Amino acid sequence: MSATANPKVTMPARGLPEDAANLWLDIPSFTDPRGGLSFVEAEKDVPFAFRRAYYLYGVTAPRGAHAHHNLHQLFIAMHGSFTLHLDDGHRQHTVTLNSPTRGVIVGPMVWRDLDAFTEGAVCLVLASQHYDEADYIRNYKDFLTLAQGA
C-alpha cells in the first residue's frame, strides 16, 4: 500500500511553466491487492476549486484546438493514454498522459490540442468554472495576438 504526498503545486496565473515537469500533479493514491484508489480534493490536492467535470471517451479524432481566457483545468488519463500539445504563444510543451495517478494542470491562455488517444482511453477534466463559451478562444491567430501582445 502506498499514499502519495500532496506536492506543493503552484498555479501559473496564465501561460505555461518554463519546465514541463511543473505541469504535473501527483494524485494521492492507495494501492493494495484489491486495486487502486486515487482522489483529489479541491484547493488541497488541486490548487484551484473545481466547479465542473467532463470526460472524453471513444475519441477517434483530434480534440481541443482552443484556449481559455480564465479557466484552470486538471487533465487525467483515467484509462489508456493520449497526448496533450500545449502552447502559450511563447513556449510549447507536449506531454503524454497514461496514468490515473498523475495529472496535468493547464491554466488560462494556453492553446491545447489533444490527440493520439489509444483505444478505450478516457480523459477526465476537472475545471474551475461552469461551461461558458465566452471563455473560449477558438481561433489560433486571435490567440497568438492576445498571448503575444500581453
Binding stretches for ligand TYD (CB under 6 A)? 52, 54, 56, 63-64, 66, 131
Smallest separation, CB 133 to ligand TYD (Å) = 7
The residue whose grid cell reads 465542473 is: 52
Q: Which is nearer to ligand TYD, 14 or 63 (CB)?
A: 63
How far is the C-alpha of 111 from the C-alpha of 85, rounded, in Å?
8
Question: What SS3 class is residue 123?
Answer: strand
Active site residues: 66
Order of all β-strands in the sheet with 63-68: 92-97, 82-87, 111-115, 63-68, 136-137
Q: Which is nearer to ligand TYD, 17 or 62 (CB)?
A: 62
Smallest separation, CB 98 to ligand TYD (Å) = 19
Smallest separation, CB 92 to ligand TYD (Å) = 18
